[in-house]
Amino acid sequence: MKTNIKDILAAKTKQALSSNILQADTIRKNIIILDELRSLIPPLLEDEFKQLESNIIEYGCQSPLQLWQANKKVLNLPYSKDDELAYVLIDGHNRFKICTTHHLPFEIYQLSFDSLKDAKDYMINLQLGRRNLSPTQIAYFRGLRYNNEKSDKTENLSKGHFVPSEENTKKIANNSPKGHFVPSGISTAERLAEEYKVNAKTIKRDAEFAKGLEKLSSDLRNKILTGAEKIEKGLIQELGKNTNITSQISTVQEIQNLTKTISLSIDNPIQQQVELINNILKKFSKTQQKSDLEDLIKAAKDILKTLK
């Protein structure tokens, strides 16, 4: 019997397509969302979300969702075997919510990253490349990028910076005080300032702003980023500078009370701790959380140190 090449190719193609469709369907059903990454997505106002929802219902989901195929063990997620994979949502959180709610189909696009930090870098840059961000959101993402890159010591000097030859490096090092030799280069703040056409001080203020926002509850942070809650940027920056805040802040009033306490610390450290204790007590009376009680104990111990 003569082999029909066309029939074999058609059968193989059909088999491959069926396998790909099945695999894609399996991936869609196993998409996970990491809170740590979801917080990097600018929240939509209620009207904006409804408009997006209406568009997707009428015209379908036009843009594919971006997923990261990652190892569950590496991400510290529950797993049954070492090579078990997770499909982490990187971009398209609002579209995913709408499509799953209304049982609508969507396309997927898979990405590859070496680490969670790389995934964050990608998401931050993706958001900064969009044109619909408010000045507050731009400052937040610039600050996030600075903090993310600053935490990686290899990023403190920009790629392509001048590196002295081995011979010159030895000469410079021999003529420099021990521990003070730093190769010529540009700092992370200066590099980002040049990229975004601002000055380095603005980038560092953005970094404090981002750190401050990270100390807020996700609900309050989203309200500030969307403009639903109005508060001075400088107050959030003060929170970012303070390393003693360990529990999440959930109201604007708490921010104002804490920053007032921080401002008192320069002239009257004891008064600072008293104000802090009062604020923690008010919060503990509502939440009765262990973390608030631990903050209270720490503040009391700090007063004892001051009185010695």
Contacts of 189 (CB under 8 A, 6+ apart): 146, 200, 203, 204, 207
Q: Are 105 and 99 within 8 A, CB to CB? A: yes
In a domain, 124, yes or no: no
pLDDT, position 302: 75
In a domain, residue 258? The reply is yes
Q: In the structure encoding, which two tokens stand for residue 19, read together?
A: 């396998």
pLDDT of residue 152: 65
Question: What is the Cα–Cα distance from 124 to 193, expressed in whole angstroms?
Answer: 16
pTM reported for the whole predicted model = 0.65
Q: Would the CA dihedral through 49, 127, 32, 223 be positive or negative?
A: negative
User: Of the residues 82, 113, 144, which one is the last residue of a structural domain?
Assistant: 113
Interatomic CA distance for residues 210 and 157, integer angstroms: 21
> Which two tokens mark 126?
């993706």
SS3 category, 37? helix
Evaluate whether residue 130 is within a structural domain: no
Instruction: For residue 99, tell me if it sits in a domain.
Output: yes
Looking at residue 48, which CATH number applies to its domain? 3.90.1530.30
**Tally of domains within the chain:** 2
Q: Please provide the DSSP assignment of 180-244 as one string.
A: ----S---HHHHHHHHHTS-HHHHHHHHHHHHHHHTB-HHHHHHHHHTSS---HHHHHHHHH-S-
Residue the block writes with tokens 């594919």:
64
The DSSP line for 111-144 is E--SSHHHHHHHHHHHHHT-S---HHHHHHHHHH
Residue 14 is predicted with a pLDDT of 47
39 inside domain: yes
Domain end, chosen from 113, 141, 169, is at 113
Domain that holds residue 105: 14-113
Tens-level pLDDT at each residue, the chain (308 residues): 455 655 555 554 444 434 444 467 778 888 999 988 988 888 888 899 999 999 999 999 999 999 999 988 888 888 888 888 889 999 999 999 999 999 999 998 999 898 898 999 999 999 998 878 899 999 999 999 999 888 765 544 433 333 334 444 444 344 444 444 444 468 999 999 999 999 999 999 999 999 999 999 989 999 999 888 998 898 899 889 887 777 789 888 888 887 776 654 545 556 666 767 777 787 777 778 887 788 778 777 777 776 65
Token reading at 295: 């903050």
Supply the Cα-derived Rg of the chain in whole angstroms: 26
Residue 194 is assigned to a structural domain of this protein = no
Residue 3 domain flag: no
Assess if residue 172 is contained within a domain.
no
Query: Among 79, 113, 147, where does a domain finish?
Result: 113
